[in-house]
Amino acid sequence: MQSANAANPHLHQPHAAAMGAPAGMEHCPIMPTYGPPSIMFVEGSGCWLTDREGKRYLDLLSGLAVTSLGHSHPAVAEAVSRQAQRLVHTSNLYATEHAGPVAQTLDRLLGGGGQVFFANSGAEANECAMKLARKWAGHGRHVVVSTYGSFHGRTMATLAATGQPAKHEPFAPMPDGYRHVAWADLAHLESAIDETVSAVIIEPIQGEGGVHPADPEYLAGIRRLCDERNLLMILDEVQTGLGRTGEWFGFQHADVAPDVVTMAKALGNGVPISACWAKAEVAAAFQPGDHATTFGGNPLCTAAARATLEVMEDEDVPGKARHAGALLRGALEELRGVSSVRGAGLLLAVELDGLDAPKVAGDLLSAGVIVNAVTPTALRLAPSLLISDDEVAEATRRIGVTLAANRAEVD
């Protein structure tokens, strides 16, 4: 039996089916969770990737919204190589140099008054948030409510929180304590809240679900409900956090103050590190021994995060994302074959007019442009936040050519 996910692996690997595996990779003992890769990249710089044959690609996906400062950013590369030669890991039995400063910076960017737990992936940051919610609320109030179409990770708990039943089905039964409600429907959310609920977890823009921004009023309504019913409002900013949307955090487009915020993708510019931030009075529910992860906040990863955040602050990278995002969005909206563009900053979905998104994404890859088909009819663009005006123009030109060719085939 094939799983529901295996039925359409091209949604995340648009190019996989189109071409064979790169030479030398055909028989590698790697589990088939991702579909066969078609290309092996060996080098990256800024918005550009180079494959084994020396072909260059304009990367508009940034390794799924991860390399927000572009590939191999010199400041991050320098910090990581220096740290690799100094000290890589000690465990959390001891303090290390960069964890404190990174936590301070994140807390300041989030408005202060909070504390941070470091982990290694988005899913783990969300696991921390949901464990914290249970500990904070006490026994009997273990339920977390999330929305249909959401994505919170692939571990058992974060998969259960993810509002995509097709992803649950092969692994049923899911862990207990997760409830899903319709996206953008406050009344449905309210009806799902009873005395067993401790928290609501929501993405300010549903990312994997198709790049659907939450209305500011929706987020404000969730905040109000959480206040009325004494629930934690957890913002999953794993994809939207750290400048991607043109603000430091996606929730900052709305007038809300979350209790817990998770982040990961962009935090180490490609070096795996994530964080769960919570207001200090909430974080106080954790006591020594309640939660841990061996690699969490190690010197190598926090050195990468420290360098990444320094560049982001010094160069006003959220402001750059706002500028480049407006430019890119405006140019894409002008293209024939595009019916609409949604998102914020440099997290955009391009809804195609009667074209097959996985096919277009595959053609774009052949044309040296990396995007992914986030739905069967929409492309996701999440380029480096440092993308130049010229690169935006070049990206738009190449996309326009590929869309025109696809329209000619359909007409």
Ligand X SMILES: *Cc1c(COP(=O)(O)O)cnc(C)c1O
Residues 66, 266 contacting (CB under 8 angstroms): yes
CB of 102 to ligand X, least distance (A): 17
Q: Is 122 annotated as a binding residue?
A: yes
Residue 237 is labelled as binding a ligand: yes
For ligand X, which stretch binds (CB under 6 A), given 135-143, 173-181, 236-244, 326-334?
236-244
Sign of the dihedral through C-alpha 203, 333, 381, 388: negative
Site for ligand X contains 239 (CB under 6 A):
yes
- Give me the count of residues in the chain: 411
121 touching ligand X, by CB under 6 A: yes
Pick from 14, 177, 207, 297 the residue near ligand X by CB under 6 A.
207
Instruction: State yes or no: 325 annotated in a binding site.
Output: no
Instruction: Note whether 119 and 296 are within 8 A (CB).
Output: yes
Residue among 265, 279, 320, 359 flagged as catalytic: 265
Q: Are 384 and 67 in contact (CB under 8 A)?
A: yes
67 known member of a binding site: no
Q: Which residues 250-279 are close enough to bind ligand X by CB under 6 A?
A: 264-265
Q: How many CB atoms lie within 10 A of CB 340?
A: 12
The string of DSSP letters for 64-132 reads HHT-TT-BT-HHHHHHHHHHHTT-----TTS--TTHHHHHHHHHHHTTSSEEEEEESSHHHHHHHHHHH
Q: x/- site string to ligand X, residues 125 to 154, per CB under 6 A?
A: -x------------------------xxx-
Is 377 annotated for ligand binding?
no
Of 265, 268, 274, the C-alpha closest to 296 is 274
CB nearer to ligand X: pick between 16 and 267: 267
Q: At closest approach, how far in Å is the CB of 263 from ligand X?
A: 9
Please confirm, yes or no, whether 249 is among the known catalytic residues.
Answer: no
Q: Which of 197, 238, 312, 352 binds ligand X (CB under 6 A)?
A: 238
Q: Is 290 annotated as a binding residue?
A: no
Residues 165-204 binding ligand X (CB under 6 A) are 203
Measured distance CA(269)–CA(72) in Å, rounded: 8
**Which among 118, 135, 167, 236 is annotated as catalytic?**
236
- Does the annotation place 179 within a ligand binding site? no
Name which of 65 and 79 has its Cβ closer to ligand X: 65
Q: Report if residue 382 touches ligand X, rule: CB under 6 A.
A: no
Closest-CB residue for ligand X? 122
- Active-site residue, 320 included: no
| CA angle, residues 383, 384, 386, in degrees to nearest 5 | 130
Range in contact with ligand X (rule: CB under 6 A) among 20-28, 121-129, 180-188, 327-335: 121-129
- Asked whether 408 and 266 are in contact (CB, 8 A), the reply is no
User: Residue 363, interface with ligand X (CB under 6 A)?
Assistant: no
* Of residues 102 and 335, the one with the C-beta less far from ligand X: 102
**Which one among 57, 137, 210, 236 touches ligand X, defined by CB under 6 A?**
236
Residues 117, 151, 249, 251: which is the catalytic one? 151
Is 151 one of the catalytic residues?
yes
Question: With CB under 6 A as the contact rule, which of the stretches 38-46, 91-99, 116-124, 129-137 interacts with ligand X?
Answer: 116-124
H/E stretch holding 404 reads helix 389-410
Residue 400 has a CB neighbour count (10 Å cut-off) of 17
Pair 345, 325: CB distance under 8 Å = yes
Q: Is 324 annotated as a binding residue?
A: no
DSSP state string for 207-236: TTTT-EEPPHHHHHHHHHHHHHHT-EEEEE
Q: Distance between CA atoms of 305 and 185, rounded to whole angstroms?
A: 36
**Contact criterion met (CB below 8 Å) for 198 and 144:** yes
Give 203 or 259: the residue with its C-beta nearer to ligand X.
203
Residues annotated as catalytic (active site), given as ranges: 151, 236, 265
Site for ligand X, rule CB under 6 A: 121-123, 126, 151-153, 203, 207-208, 236, 238-239, 264-265
